[in-house]
Amino acid sequence: MWYALYSQGYRFGGVNPVGDLKPFKSDKLKNYETGLRLAATKNLQLDFTAFYMDWSNAQVNSFDTSGAIPVSIVTNVGKATNKGLEVAASYRPLKSLFFTAALAYTDARTAADFPSGTIFGATIPTGSRLPNTPHFQSVLTADYSFDGPMESRATVFGTHSYVGERVMDIDGIRTAPGYGTFDAGIRFVRNNWTLGFSIANLLNEKGIVGLFGGVPGVPYTDYYLQRPRTFTASLRWDM
């Protein structure tokens, strides 16, 4: 099966809640996408997707360093583009065993020069990476089902996800390394009842998901880490 898609959207602008800074504009996005789904075998399905996004007045986080103390603001990059490829596969070698995998490559960059908010008087050139957009992301899942206790149907599952290296600001000064996360769990289903136990971030990785500071006038950096190892138990009844 082949498909093609065109879509567009926008976000409202606003006013930065500090000082007398200028408001930021609404941004608009045009998305062009095409893809192909193949049933390679009875048990294997493949999906391929390519996309291109044309982004006008893209809203990004930056700093205003004109005052005595730098402040975080939202501003507009005049123009940006985002292009990429996605590949996904699902495979069921046995009735009780199921795998999925997905890999995405994204290249999001400015398409116009932009004045730096961190380095006074500097210009961020065309072709600079957009913040917090990794080049590579992937996810791999596995489910195994079997007969559980008390006439239930049990499923053991695991998921590994990876987020690649990113620049964390429009200036490209601060970067964050890639990180992986492994989640696992088991659930039991009997009639309308589902009992589940899961562990998020099983290996307790400390991937950086955000940071603040590290610019002129702010001699420190706050790091925001992914959620630590978390245990969850749930009981659900479906009508």
**pLDDT (average), residues 127-153:** 95
pLDDT of residue 157 exceeding 80, the answer is yes
CATH number at residue 188: 2.40.170.20
CB 47 within 8 A of CB 21: no
Main-chain dihedrals φ then ψ at residue 91, nearest 5 degrees: -140, 130
pLDDT of residue 117 exceeding 90, the answer is no
pLDDT of residue 139 exceeding 80, the answer is yes
Residue 118 has a pLDDT of: 61
Residue 211 has a pLDDT of: 82
Structural domain that includes position 70: 2-237
Q: Name the least confident of 9-13, 70-74, 90-94.
A: 70-74
The mean pLDDT value of the chain amounts to 91
Burial letters for 80-97: b for 16+ Cβ neighbours within 10 Å, e otherwise?
A: bbbebebebbebeeeeee
Q: Name the least confident of 5-14, 179-188, 191-200, 205-214.
A: 205-214
- Residues in CB range of 18: below 8 A, 6 or more apart: 64, 71, 73
pLDDT of residue 65 exceeding 80, the answer is no
pLDDT of residue 120 exceeding 90, the answer is no
Number of domains into which the chain is organized: 1
> pLDDT confidence of 61, banded at 50, 70, 90?
confident
pLDDT of residue 101 exceeding 90, the answer is yes
Distance between CA 157 and CA 144 in Å, rounded?
6
Residue 78 has a pLDDT of: 85
At 189-230, the pLDDT tens digits run: 999 999 999 999 999 999 999 887 666 666 678 889 999 999
Q: Name the least confident of 11-15, 43-47, 89-93.
A: 11-15
pLDDT of residue 9 exceeding 80, the answer is yes
Residue 147 has a pLDDT of: 96
pLDDT of residue 63 exceeding 90, the answer is no
Main-chain dihedrals φ then ψ at residue 201, nearest 5 degrees: 55, 60
Residue 222 has a pLDDT of: 84
**pLDDT (average), residues 102-129:** 85
Identify the burial level of 67 via C-beta atoms within 10 angstroms of its C-beta, where 0-12 means exposed, 13-18 middle and 19 or more buried: exposed
pLDDT of residue 17 exceeding 90, the answer is no
